[in-house]
Structure 1
Amino acid sequence: MKYLKLIRYQNLLMLASMQLIFRYGFLELQNIPLALAHWQYGLLVLATMSIAAGGYIINNIFDVETDTENKPNNVIVGKFISETKAHNLYIGFTVIGVAIGFYLSNVIDKPSFASLFIVIAATLYFYATNLKQSLLIGNIIVAMLLSFSVIIIGIFDLYPVANQENRSVMGLLFSILLDYAIFAFIINFIREIVKDLQDVEGDSNQGMNTLPISFGIKKTSKLVFGLSLIPIILILNYISTNLFAYELIYGTLFGIIFILAPLLYFTTKIWSATQTKDFHHLSTVLKWILFFGILSIVVISLNIKFNA
């Protein structure tokens, strides 16, 4: 169980679920060819999970002191697993992820795409060792990496089989993936700031430079309130123009109940939140918003299919 906690298996399962949902709850429902066979797509998911697991491990290695103050019960490295073993696991997971990425890049006849996996792995390493302490840069990087796990589906499964005849359809499907990637970026970026609010005391003692440390908890909470209005406006517009306008009732109801309503709840609560437990709760709310946001692609796809 300690090894599962080290790689943050819940987050990895959510990452895998997200990629499987997009493949089998969206792309497979379209009448289009896909570049990867089922088992090859499974390897793409495995590569993503492996590199992410390596990122979590290296992050845990360099976060021991901070976590000892913020989350003493969650400290694994040095307590249950030696730092040397953790480093070896980091190298193992990262090598597996990059190697699979190299293989898949050659499968689709785009060997240069292997560099994407190398860049992601390197970015996770530099995030854990240097960038995490920089104001906002760490938050942006984590949010971008999650959104890229959506975009990479289009890069490996759609782009290689795009041609002159299906270019418009493939472009539309890729743009939908991009919409969800932007949604994932915004929600995860806000969540990273909320997590900084939750960990402000320990981060301050470790000399880190996060928004709550620089501007204070109250000002940062108000800033998060303002940021949370962005996805609310975007989702309202998306539901109005892409779902309600085309009488996709189930997609509309799902978006309102499971995405928009929780976002409104988050917005009202973050304005007055001051305690660690409040920020922990709101971080969990954002995690569920992200999950249901990704799941909405299945509801919308089925709604379109049965309305046709």
Structure 2
Amino acid sequence: MITRPQKIILLKLLSVISVVRGYAIVLMIAAQLLTAAFILAPQAPLNEVFLSGPLWLVILASSLSIAGGYIINNFYDQEKDLINRPRRSKLDRMLRQQTKLSGYFILNFAAVLAASAVSFSAALFFSGFIFLMWYYSHRLKKIIFVGNLTSAMLSVMPLFILVVYYKSFSSIIVVHACFLLLLLASRELLKDLENLTGDLVQGYKTIPVVYGVTPTKVIGVALIGLTYLPSLILILNYDLNAMRYYFFAIMIVLPYGAYLLWRAKEKRDYLVLHALLRLGIIIGVMSIVLLNPERFIQGWF
């Protein structure tokens, strides 16, 4: 039987995972590893890629800085989350605000330290990344359109540090990034629709607050439609191997998603759509392996 002190420790641990969005960090680690192995260093043996010390330092710096970013965002959004996510907010409040701030500074210091062990350029990149996440939480997220765009860009920035690290750049990376940015921008609109009540109370100038729900849905459907462009470019112009089936599936599913968005009326409708979009992003990250499935089986040495 769990004692009361053990229960408190468990709840605080769950609170930490909730505040730093542990699932998002795990997904980013997977995305960075698979991007390195199957896009940026496709000729190197997998064991060489996966056991690379500098790569893991970049991943560590990314994970620590992202965790810090979620902490500072939670710090600024505490009052809004009490309205929009009362259950999760109750769990998050197991950690005191002072504890969150202390953790934020420790994580960011450790992130820059890890990055500096790779190169001075990496340390500069993560310093800028950390500052931009703070400024987004403090100011930019309250500015209409700017907040949505900044959030989507911040989500893909840890992947671009790998481009700098490997000194490998190709057009397929840009097209993949455009595809991901459009999905993430759609997700940000869904979050705005979910959080409409709290944003109104706290004075956030989001798209639904300023223009209303219906125009926001129009923009969301337009973003979904635009996602077809990079999907078609990737399918028609690049050798995606079995990964093309992911984009075929996306192109089949997205119209249904647009229909659900247009018909959505209650918060739970947006939550379902948000979960489906998140699932699509997770499957997309895992499907990077399909660029060269034989490599995953035979390319370890």
TM-score norm. by structure 1 comes to: 0.84
Name which of 273, 285, 288 aligns with 1:297: 288
| Residue in 2 that maps onto 1:215 | 211
Q: 1:215-248 deviations in whole A, cap 9, x for unaligned?
A: 111111111101110112321232133248xxx4
**Structure 1: gaps of 5 or more residues:** 106-110, 160-169
Q: Give 1:302 deviation, angstroms.
A: 2.8
Structure 2 distance, partners of 1:63, 1:178, is 32
Q: Give 1:113 deviation, angstroms.
A: 3.8
Structure 1 distance, partners of 2:61, 2:295, is 31
| Residue in 2 that maps onto 1:252 | 244
| Residue in 2 that maps onto 1:4 | 17
Q: Give 1:265 deviation, angstroms.
A: 2.4
* Amino-acid identity (%): 24
CA 1:273–1:296: 2 relative to 1, 3 Å: same
Structure 2 distance, partners of 1:23, 1:35, is 7
Q: Give 1:199 deviation, angstroms.
A: 0.6
Structure 2 distance, partners of 1:187, 1:125, is 23
Structure 2 distance, partners of 1:136, 1:154, is 27
Name which of 276, 280, 286 aligns with 2:271: 280
Q: 1:62-113 deviations in whole A, cap 9, x for unaligned?
A: 11110000001111588311111110000011111111112211xxxxx244
Q: Does 1:62 align with 2:76?
A: yes
Structure 2 distance, partners of 1:50, 1:171, is 25
Structure 2 distance, partners of 1:76, 1:218, is 31
Structure 2 distance, partners of 1:227, 1:190, is 6
Q: Does 1:140 align with 2:149?
A: yes
In structure 2, what residue type is equivalent to 1:221? Answer: K
| Residue in 1 that maps onto 2:223 | 227
Q: Does 1:261 align with 2:252?
A: yes
Secondary structure of 1:208's aligned partner: coil
CA 1:305–1:96: 2 relative to 1, 3 Å: closer
Secondary structure of 1:75's aligned partner: helix
In structure 1, what residue type is equivalent to 2:243? Answer: G
Q: Does 1:98 align with 2:125?
A: no
Q: 1:249-294 deviations in whole A, cap 9, x for unaligned?
A: x33323212x323323212211222211111111122212222223
| Superposed CA RMSD | 2.5
Name which of 223, 236, 240 aligns with 1:240: 236
In structure 2, what residue type is equivalent to 1:92? Answer: I
Structure 2 distance, partners of 1:123, 1:148, is 11
Structure 2 distance, partners of 1:255, 1:87, is 41
In structure 2, what residue type is equivalent to 1:116? Answer: F
CA 1:225–1:152: 2 relative to 1, 3 Å: same
Structure 1 distance, partners of 2:58, 2:112, is 10
In structure 1, what residue type is equivalent to 2:215? Answer: K
| Residue in 1 that maps onto 2:196 | 200
Q: Does 1:42 align with 2:40?
A: no
Whether the 8 Å CA contact 2:40–2:163 is kept in 1: the answer is no
How many residues get paired? 283
Secondary structure of 2:93's aligned partner: coil
Whether the 8 Å CA contact 2:178–2:230 is kept in 1: the answer is no
CA 1:305–1:55: 2 relative to 1, 3 Å: closer
Q: Does 1:51 align with 2:50?
A: no
Structure 1 distance, partners of 2:118, 2:99, is 29
In structure 2, what residue type is equivalent to 1:49? Answer: S
Whether the 8 Å CA contact 1:150–1:177 is kept in 2: the answer is no
Q: 1:104-137 deviations in whole A, cap 9, x for unaligned?
A: 11xxxxx244211111100111111111111111
Structure 2 distance, partners of 1:181, 1:95, is 28
Q: Give 1:208 deviation, angstroms.
A: 0.6
Secondary structure of 1:140's aligned partner: helix
**Structure 2: gaps of 5 or more residues:** 1-13
